[in-house]
Structure 1
Amino acid sequence: MARCDRCGEEEGMPYQCRLCGGTFCSEHRLPENHDCPGLEGWNDPNGVFDSGFDDSVSSSSSKSSVLGLDTGPGGVLAYFRGNATYILLGLMWLMFLVQYAVAPYVLGIEQGTRAWLDLFTLNTSHPLYVWTWVTSVFAHGGLTHIVFNSIVLYFFGPVVERRIGSKKFVALFLVSGALAGLAQVGAALAVSAPAAVLGASGAIAALMGVLTVLNPNLRILLYFVIPMPLWVATLLFAGYSVLMSGVGGIGAGGVAQLAHLAGLALGLLYGVKLKRDGERAPQELRFGGGGGGGLGGRRRR
């Protein structure tokens, strides 16, 4: 048995969409019946409508075979369609390698120096260094930090990506992550306090917010053990961030508490927009993680 990604009903003989990879019941098996993001590629006759009788299409297909890539409908870029979550995960770990191996041992940029901070963190010293709006989302403050964020993104990301499509998913991840960091740094500047933030937690909080609106009763197994509906987990997450901010400030415990709240708020707002379409999410997710705190003076998101 499997559940339909569109309506949530159990289906004994589920259908898997070849364009988006989702699982659907007989009623929603057609791409147009589940708002498949792959429909965006239907204007490419050399991809989706390939009949196999056109010589030019056959030539193109043979070239793809030589490369050893299953490009699918729409050309080479279609290889990445529906896999943006894993690409973002890969970029996070690649950035981690650059932070702690390439920068100090190859480029001579030691961790914690001004050059290192200006490359990998969004900070109050240089908030208009635009590249840090992106690099700070992928950079992390240590192994525990990136492992925890990777676990949550691995489980939440594909669900949201299937619903809104890869392009919008990447845009949501980058924009919410950058705005969450800017909110933290902006608040620090307002009170004349130094701050440097890094991490994908703000973006991941946005994904959590989207799912909470789409299906507040989504059952999750926190740490793979503790069952609870998603709305409870979200409420606990938000309450903890608010409490810590009230007790120790917006960067309490070395964690960018305000960035978490900003990312969550952005996700909730976007989820409200999606809710108008009447979409539902799967009924159960499992994830776990651990570790908090900061690294030096940097706030981890």
Structure 2
Amino acid sequence: MFNNIPPITRNIIIINVIVFIATYLLGDQMVGYFAAFYPFSPLFKSWQIITHMFMHGGLMHILFNMMTLFSFGPILEQTLGDKKYLILYFASGLGAFFLFNAWNFVEAQQIISELQTLDINASDIYAKAAHYFGGIPKFNATTVEGQELSVQYYNLLTTPMVGASGAIFGVVAAFATLYPDAKIGIMFIPVPMKVKYLLPIIVLISVYLGVSGNGGGIAHLAHVGGALVGWLLARNWRKHLYRFN
């Protein structure tokens, strides 16, 4: 069955599995180099913009992502062709990265401003983040508020973004754009729904969770960024996709 998957989707799944196994074996070393840190963090490396798409935080994370890609990817790969499908996948992943970190930038600036009002130097926290060791260091803040803000800024600088979810949300959004009346089933919803109705609901929930801060450690705005890019690309390609038919 696996050999029947179109080559690009198959190879993306294989690479993700290989990287997941390598991360399990090497641990923090892989995360430090290949997960995507906030671009203004001392831990950020330029290649992380791409490599984070092949990193995952656990078995259920990679299983869910790869099953979703397996469900939607082959159809789009055959419909769009190799070149457009690759553009869709990686552009969606980049869109996820940039929207998520644009929101991180807004939050970082707000935290820095509040630290300054408390006469706390954000550069000191930045310096501690550069020597990240997996725990929370001691900060110079003398108040509870200052300590909380210092921890928030430190966590923003040292918490990496991992996963193919943004790229895969782009694939799902493109599928919904090209095949809006297709019905799919999803957990907790007993009746299959048309994907053109289901996707906007998921995106709106992701926007709320991402902006409200109730995301539970999930980069919901990355999903939104990926879906937005996937929708824009598919919307543009749809005009010319069947022009010779």
- Separation in 2, partners of 1:176, 1:131: 16
- Give the aligned partner of residue 172 of structure 2: 208
Q: Which has the higher helix share?
A: 2
Query: Is the partner of 1:253 in helix, strand or coil?
Result: coil
Q: Against the structure 1 CA distance between its residues 81 and 149, is the aligned structure 2 distance closer, same or farther, given a 3 Å change threshold?
A: closer
* Structure 2: 5+ residue stretches without partners: 109-152
- Distance in 1 between the 2:44 and 2:212 partners? 29
2:186 paired with 1:222: yes
Identity rate, percent = 27
Deviations 1:42-99 (A, max 9, x none): xxxxxxxxxxxxxxxxxxxxxxxxxxxxxxxxxxxxx999410011001110110111
- Post-superposition, which runs of at least 4 consecutive aligned residues in structure 1 deviate over 6 A? none
Q: Structure 1 unaligned runs (5+)?
A: 1-78, 105-110, 280-301
Matched, 1:248 2:213: yes
Could you tell me how far apart the structure 2 residues matched to 1:126 and 1:212 are?
Answer: 38
Aligned counterparts of 2:43 and 2:89: Cα–Cα separation in 1: 20
TM-score, scaled relative to structure 1:
0.58
Matches within 5 A, 1:1-301: 82-101=6-25, 103-104=26-27, 111=28, 115-124=29-38, 125-126=41-42, 129-192=45-108, 193=153, 194=156, 195-223=159-187, 226-248=191-213, 252-277=215-240, 279=242
Distance 1:81 1:247, change over 3 A: closer
CA distance in 1, matches of 2:88, 2:43: 21
Give the Å deviation of 1:221.
Answer: 2.1
Contact 2:184 2:194 in 1 (8 A): yes
Q: Can you list the C-alpha shifts for 1:103-158, whole angstroms capped at 9, x where unaligned?
A: 14xxxxxx3xxx44332211122575122112100100100000000110001101
Contact 2:96 2:225 in 1 (8 A): yes
CA RMSD after TM alignment:
2.4
Q: For the structure 1 residues 209 and 100, does the alpha-carbon distance in structure 2 shift closer, same or farther, using more than 3 Å as the test?
A: same
AA matched with 1:134: I
Deviation per residue, 1:183-238 (Å, 9 max, x gap) = 21232133214142110110011111111111211111224964110012202211
Q: Could you tell me which amino acid in structure 2 is paired with residue 96 of structure 1? A: F
- What residue in structure 2 maps to residue 56 of structure 1? none
Relative to structure 1, the CA distance from residue 147 to residue 219 in structure 2 (aligned partners, 3 Å threshold; closer, same or farther) is same
Structure 1 CA distance for aligned equivalents of residues 190 and 74 of structure 2: 21
- Measure the CA separation in 1 of the matches of 2:224 and 2:235: 17
Larger radius of gyration: 1
Partner letter of residue 143 of structure 1? L
Q: Secondary structure at the match of 2:192?
A: strand
Q: Secondary structure at the match of 1:196?
A: coil
- Between 1:183-192 and 1:212-221, the stretch displaced more is 183-192
Counterparts of 1:234 and 1:242, CA distance in 2: 12
